[in-house]
Amino acid sequence: GLLYTVAADAGNLVHGYRGLLSLAQLGFWGTGAYGAALNVIRFGGDFWAGLALAGLVPAALAAVIGLPTLRTRRHAFVIVTLTFALLADLVARNWVGLTRGALGIPGLPAPVFFGFSLHTPARFYYIAYAYALLALGFLHLLGTSRIGQVLKAIKQNEPLTQSQGISPLPYKLAAFVIGAAITGVAGGIFVFYLKIVDPTILDFYYMQTFLIIVIIGGAGSFWGVVAAGLVMVALPEALRFSDDL
Name the least confident of 4-18, 111-125, 203-217, 228-242. Answer: 111-125
pLDDT digit string (tens) for 81-99?
999 999 999 999 999 988 8
**Cβ 117 vs Cβ 125: under 8 Å:** no
Q: CA separation (Å) from 157 to 86, 161, 164, 213? A: 32, 6, 11, 26
**Residue 113 — pLDDT band, cuts 50, 70, 90?**
confident
Q: Residue 7's pLDDT is what?
A: 92
Average pLDDT, the chain: 87
pLDDT, average across residues 209-221: 87
User: The pTM is what?
Assistant: 0.89
Q: Residue 245's pLDDT is what?
A: 77
pLDDT, average across residues 201-225: 88
Q: CA separation (Å) from 209 to 2, 7, 95, 172, 228? A: 12, 10, 27, 24, 11
pLDDT exceeds 80 at position 18: no
Using DSSP's 3-state secondary structure scheme, residue 42 falls into coil
**Residue 115 — pLDDT band, cuts 50, 70, 90?**
low
pLDDT exceeds 80 at position 119: no
**Residue 121 — pLDDT band, cuts 50, 70, 90?**
confident
Using alpha carbons, select from 177, 180, 174, 186 the residue that is nearest to residue 51.
Answer: 186
pLDDT digit string (tens) for 20-35?
788 889 999 999 999 9
Q: Residue 85's pLDDT is what?
A: 93
**Residue 13 — pLDDT band, cuts 50, 70, 90?**
confident
Q: Residue 89's pLDDT is what?
A: 93
Q: Residue 37's pLDDT is what?
A: 93
With b for 16 or more beta-carbon neighbours within 10 A and e for fewer, the 176-214 pattern comes to bbbbbbbbbbbbbbbbbbeeebbbebbeeebbebbbebb
Using alpha carbons, select from 26, 220, 77, 212 the residue that is nearest to residue 142.
Answer: 220
